Amino acid sequence: MAIPYYSGRMTDWVMNKDNPSAFSSTILAMAAFTIGSAVSECICDCIYNATMTGIHTRIQGSVFRSVVHQEIAFFDTQHTGDITSRITTDTNTMSDSLSEQLSLLMWCLMRVMCLLAFMLSLSFKLSLFTLALIPFIIIVPEFFAHFYQNLSADVQASLAKANDVAMETFSSMKTVRSFANEDGECRRYGERLNDTFQLNKREALFYAIYMWTNSLSGLLLKVSILFYGGSLVTDGSVTSGGLVSFILYQLQFTSAIEALLHVYPHVKKAVGASEKVFEYMDRRPVMPPVGTLRPTKLKAHIEFRNVTFAYLKQPDLPVLKNVSFEVRSGEVTALVGASAAGKTTCVSLLQRFYQPQSGQILLDGIPIEEYEHKHYHRKVALVSQEPVLFARSVEENIAYGLEDVSAERVANAARDACAHQFVTALRDGYSTDAGEKGGQLSEGQKQRVAIARALIRDPQVLILEDATSCLDNETEHLVHQSVYSRAEGRAVLVIAHRPSSIERADRIVVLEGGKVVEEGAPQQLQEKGSSYHRLLQVHSPDAGSEQSEEGLVETEVES
C-alpha cells in the first residue's frame, strides 16, 4: 500500500525536478516495501493454511464424534445419506470456503481500512466523494447476495436427498437386482439430480446478476472520481502527484471493496452449509445422565418391571404394555411370541437403545442407566439375527470394541462359536477382509463371527436374538452346546422362532400383543396347552407335514 504514495512522489519529481535524490530514494523505498511485503505474505499464508487445515480436521472429527454419541432414535428419524452429506460434503464446503474466502475477507477488510486512511491524508474532499458513492456499490449487490445464500442452502439439501437415494440403492443392491429395478432406481436418482440441477441454474442466475450489478456500479464510481479529481487539480486543491496517488489508492480501495462483495456471498454460502454441521455438533443426545457404576462382578439378574414403551414415530401405539419378567443368572430364558409381539423391542431396551416411557429395567436391582456405558456393554452382549460386520479383517471384527486383544484369545472365542474351522480355511485366515457389511462371508459364517464377537467379552448377560437362524442343525447344536455349557454365572436370554433354538431353555416368557401372557418352565407350559404350546405346534415340522397330508387328502377328494 506504500507503492501508490511513492508513485505520486515520483510524478511530482518528474514534473518539477527540484530534488534529484528523490528518484533514487523512492525506488529504494519501493523495492524494500515490495520485498518485505512478499516475505510477510509468505509467512502469513503458511501459518493461516496450516491453522485452517487443523480447524477443518477438528470440526469434521467433532461432528462425527457428536453424531456417533446421539441416541438411536436420532438415527431412526434422520436418513443416513443426509448425515453422511453433512459430515463430508458440508464440512468440506464450509472448510474450503473458510480456508480461501475467509482469508481474502480479512485481508481485503484490512486493506480497505488502511487505504481509506491514506486517501483521507491525500484529499479529504475526494475521500468523502468516494465514500458517498460506495453505498450504491454495496446495497444493490447485497440484495441479490441474499437470494444467493438461500439458494445455496437449498442446493445442499437437494444434494443430500440425491446422496440418500444412492446410499439406499448401493446398500440394498441384492434387493434391487432381485426385483430387476435397476432402471427404476436410476430414474429416481436422476429425478433427484434434476431437482439439484434446476436449483443450480437459479443459483447461477442470481450469481451472474450479482456480479453484473457489482461491475457496473464499480465502473460508474471510477468515472465519477476521475471527473471530480480533474476539477480539483484544475483548482489547485490537489497536486498532480497527489491525484495520481489518490487514483491508485482509489483503484485499490475499489478493488478491495469489490473483492469484499465477491467474497462475502461465498462466506455466506459457507455459513449456510455450516448451519446443519454446527446443529449436529451442538446437539445433545436425548438420553438420561451418563452412569458411573463399574462393578467388577455382577449377579447377572435382569428384571423388567412394568415396562411400557412406544416408538417416537408412533407415540400413541405402545409396543410394550406393562411388561414384567426376569432373566436369572445361571439360567437360559427364552422370550417367544408371534411377529410384532415386542421381543426385539425388549432387546433394544435392554441394550439401552431407547428409554421406556414408564417402568424400569434393572440389573442386579439397579436401573441400567446408572451403569457406565462401556462397562455395561462389555457385561451385556448381543448377537442379533442379522449381525453387521465391518469392512476389516475377521480378527478385527471379533475383537471389535476391545483393545490389546491377543490372537490366541480371538481364536478361542472363534472356537467357542464354531467359527475357527471355516476362518482358518479362508485365503488369509483371520486376516481375511470380511468385506462391506461382511459381504465376503455367508450369512451363517457372519452369525458365527458375531457370536465369537460377543463371547470374547466373556459377558455375564448374553442375548441371542435368533442368532443361529442361518445355521444347519448340526452346527446350531454345537454352538448351543458351547454357549450353554458356560451359562453358569451367566444369564442367557434367547429370542427365537425355531423350537431347536429354545429346547434347552430353563424358563419361557411368552409375549403376545406387547404383553406377557404366560411364563414358566417349558414342560409346564406345554402341559397347559396354552399360547406356548400353540407356538410350538405352528413351528414344529410335524405340524407342517400334517397340514400337507390334509391338503393331499382334500386334493384327492376333489379329484
Residue 551: its pLDDT value, please? Answer: 40
Residue 553: its pLDDT value, please? Answer: 34
149 lies in a domain?
Answer: yes
Cell 450479482: give the residue: 210
Q: How far apart are CA 233 and CA 123, in angstroms?
A: 11
pLDDT per residue over 127-172, tens digit each?
888 888 777 766 666 677 677 777 777 888 888 888 888 888 888 8
Percent of the chain's residues with pLDDT above 70: 87
The two counts, helices (H) then strands (E), for the chain are 21, 10
Report the SS3 class of residue 236.
Answer: coil
295 lies in a domain?
Answer: no
Q: How far apart are CA 266 and CA 102, in angstroms?
A: 9
Residue 538: its pLDDT value, please? Answer: 63
What is the mean predicted confidence (pLDDT) over 77-87?
A: 79
Of 4-8, 112-116, 242-246, least confident by mean pLDDT is 4-8
Report the SS3 class of residue 485.
Answer: coil
Q: How confident is the model at residue 555 (pLDDT cuts 50, 70, 90)?
A: very low
Residue 468: its pLDDT value, please? Answer: 75
Q: How confident is the model at residue 307 (pLDDT cuts 50, 70, 90)?
A: very high
Q: How confident is the model at residue 487 (pLDDT cuts 50, 70, 90)?
A: low
169 lies in a domain?
Answer: yes
Single-letter amino acid, residue 166: A
Q: How many domains does the chain have?
A: 2
Contact at 8 Å (CB) between 377 and 412? no
Residue 306: its pLDDT value, please? Answer: 92
The yes-or-no verdict on residue 546 having pLDDT over 50 is no
542 lies in a domain?
Answer: no
Which H or E element spans position 464? strand 461-465
| Strand ranges in 248-387 using DSSP code E only, listed in sequence order | 302-309, 320-327, 332-337, 358-363, 366-367, 380-383
Q: How far apart are CA 35 and CA 2, in angstroms?
A: 12
Residue 10: its pLDDT value, please? Answer: 67
Asked if residue 349 and residue 254 are part of one domain, the reply reads no
Asked if residue 223 and residue 181 are part of one domain, the reply reads yes
Asked if residue 127 and residue 66 are part of one domain, the reply reads yes
512 has which bridge partners? 515
CA dihedral 140, 142, 148, 152 (to 10 degrees): 170
Which range marks the domain in which residue 171 is found? 3-282
Name the pairing type of β-strands 332-337 and 507-512.
parallel
> Of 133 and 125, which is predicted with more confidence?
125
Q: How far apart are CA 355 and CA 467, in angstroms?
A: 24
Kindly report whether the global pTM for this prediction surpasses the value 0.85: no
Asked if residue 69 and residue 217 are part of one domain, the reply reads yes
309 lies in a domain?
Answer: yes
Asked if residue 372 and residue 265 are part of one domain, the reply reads no
Q: How far apart are CA 389 and CA 378, in angstroms?
A: 18
Residue 308: its pLDDT value, please? Answer: 93
Asked if residue 384 and residue 275 are part of one domain, the reply reads no
Cα distances from 279 to residues 70, 84, 284, 444, in angstroms, run 12, 14, 10, 41
The yes-or-no verdict on residue 542 having pLDDT over 70 is no
Asked if residue 187 and residue 50 are part of one domain, the reply reads yes
Q: How far apart are CA 126 and CA 492, in angstroms?
A: 87
Name the pairing type of β-strands 358-363 and 515-520.
unpaired
pLDDT per residue over 339-356, tens digit each?
888 888 998 899 888 889
Asked if residue 384 and residue 251 are part of one domain, the reply reads no
Report the SS3 class of residue 297.
Answer: coil
371 has which bridge partners? 293
Average model confidence (pLDDT) for the chain?
80
Q: How far apart are CA 90 and CA 18, in angstroms?
A: 62
CATH number of the domain within which 42 lies: 1.20.1560.10
pLDDT per residue over 190-237, tens digit each?
988 898 898 888 888 878 877 777 777 777 777 787 788 878 878 877
CATH number of the domain within which 482 lies: 3.40.50.300
DSSP summary character for residue 185 = H
What is the mean predicted confidence (pLDDT) over 251-280?
A: 77
Contact at 8 Å (CB) between 480 and 462? no
Asked if residue 144 and residue 256 are part of one domain, the reply reads yes
Asked if residue 360 and residue 507 are part of one domain, the reply reads yes
Q: How confident is the model at residue 11 (pLDDT cuts 50, 70, 90)?
A: low
Contact at 8 Å (CB) between 429 and 423? yes
Contact at 8 Å (CB) between 489 and 407? no
Contact at 8 Å (CB) between 535 and 337? yes
Cα R_g (the chain), whole angstroms:
36
269 lies in a domain?
Answer: yes
534 lies in a domain?
Answer: no
**Total length of the chain:** 559
> Of 6 and 164, which is predicted with more confidence?
164
Cα distances from 434 to residues 170, 329, 393, 453, in angstroms, run 17, 34, 6, 14
Asked if residue 270 and residue 357 are part of one domain, the reply reads no
What is the DSSP annotation of 350-419? HTTSS--SEEEEEETTEEGGGB-HHHHHHHEEEE-SS----SSBHHHHHTTT-SS--HHHHHHHHHHTT-
Which H or E element spans position 346? helix 343-350
Residue 464: its pLDDT value, please? Answer: 87
217 lies in a domain?
Answer: yes
Name the pairing type of β-strands 515-520 and 507-512.
antiparallel
The yes-or-no verdict on residue 97 having pLDDT over 60 is yes
Residue 18: its pLDDT value, please? Answer: 58
Residue 138: its pLDDT value, please? Answer: 67
Q: How confident is the model at residue 548 (pLDDT cuts 50, 70, 90)?
A: very low
Helices of type H across 86-181: 91-97, 103-122, 124-171, 173-178
What is the mean predicted confidence (pLDDT) over 307-318?
A: 87
What is the mean predicted confidence (pLDDT) over 434-449?
A: 86
Asked if residue 322 and residue 180 are part of one domain, the reply reads no
Look up residue 384 and give its three cell numbers.
Answer: 442379533
Residue 16: its pLDDT value, please? Answer: 59
Q: Residue 282, exposed/middle/buried by CB under 10 A (0-12, 13-18, 19+)?
A: exposed
Residue 530: its pLDDT value, please? Answer: 67
The yes-or-no verdict on residue 86 having pLDDT over 90 is no
Contact at 8 Å (CB) between 449 and 417? yes
pLDDT per residue over 21-72, tens digit each?
666 777 787 788 888 888 988 898 888 888 888 888 888 888 888 888 888 8
Residue 554: its pLDDT value, please? Answer: 38
pLDDT per residue over 370-388, tens digit each?
898 888 888 888 888 888 8
